[in-house]
Amino acid sequence: MPIVKNNLFEDGDVPTGAELNQPYNDIATASANIDSENTADNWITIEHITDPNVLNSIYSFVYDGQTADDITSTSYVTIQNVAPNYSELTLNYQPDQFEVLRIESSGLVGNNDVEQTYDSTAVPPNGDRNYYAFRLALFYNDGGPTTQVSLGEWGYSFTTMAGGTSRYWTGNNGLPENTGVPLAYQTFQFSALYIYPGASGARTLEKIELQAKVNYSGNILRIARNNIIAVRARR
């Protein structure tokens, strides 16, 4: 609401009706738009807010079942917890400008089936077959088709062996052997922020998916429990 001005009357002035009414009319018009120009500093208490909980909104996806999803794809696929239930967190809201979405995800890697953690034939970096990775993908639309953006990628290894070149050894039978100790029943966890820079209400955030891939299709990554938590910071 804009500042309302008053007419200054001195002794002897004869105010007209219009002059006397003007400040009241201005207030009547402007009071529909009271804003921080009209209010004192530090005046509001939490009791004045209709629903304090909406300053931050929480969204969650939890799969706590025992059945694992086997991942053998070398490109990212969405984790599927007993088909057709994907690891996806539904959002479906339009953020205001510079709103922040804080995303955290964690889960449990089960008894992986690790065939090979080295690559004795390909060119370096040979040891990369030992790796698998996760990605959090955000799906949104700006009024048109759905677009996907990566919120981050994070990696792990199947064994204690390092990546890099020549991290295998030759066994007595003349064949290369794995060097590392398998790592099973290990948790994974990561978090990231998404900041929306565009105009308020112009973008619809649809969902977040938890995706995974392996770097060698002969290895099977087994993912059981997993969850995605997102906190929408609004004000």
Which residues from 118-177 bind another protein, rule CB under 8 A? 125, 127-128, 130-131, 133-135, 150, 152-157, 159-170
Using CB under 8 A as the binding rule, the residues of this chain from 45 to 74 that contact another protein are 45, 47-51, 54-56
Cα atoms found within 13 Å of the Cα of residue 72, Cβ hemisphere only: 9
Site for another protein contains 1 (CB under 8 A): yes
Nearer to another protein by C-beta: 56 or 67?
Answer: 56
Which of residues 14, 18, 83, 175 is near another protein by CB under 8 A? 14
Q: How far is the CB of 37 from another protein (least distance, A)?
A: 6
Looking at this protein, which amino acid is placed at residue 137? A
Contact status, residue 100 vs residue 194, Cβ threshold 8 Å = yes
- Residue 16 CB, nearest approach to another protein (Å): 12
Nearer of residues 81 and 215 to another protein, judged by Cβ = 215
**At residue 32, what are phi and psi to the nearest 5 degrees?**
-75, -10
Of residues 72 and 82, the one with the C-beta less far from another protein: 72
Segment contacting another protein (CB under 8 A): 136-144, 179-187, 203-211, 220-228? 179-187
Q: Does 18 bind another protein (CB under 8 A)?
A: no
Q: Does 90 bind another protein (CB under 8 A)?
A: no
Length of the chain: 235
**Residue linked to tokens 């199947």:** 158
Residue matched to tokens 């999803």: 69
d(CA 213, CA 103): 20
Q: How far is CA 207 from CA 80, 97, 141, 187, in A?
A: 15, 18, 10, 23
Write out the two tokens for 55: 């300053």
Minimal distance, residue 46 CB to another protein, in Å: 9
The dihedrals phi and psi of 148, each to the nearest 5 degrees, come to -115, 135
Size of the site for another protein (CB under 8 A): 88
Asked whether position 32 contacts another protein by CB under 8 A, the answer is no
Shortest gap between Cβ of 204 and another protein (angstroms)?
18
Cα distance between residue 73 and residue 217, in whole Å? 6
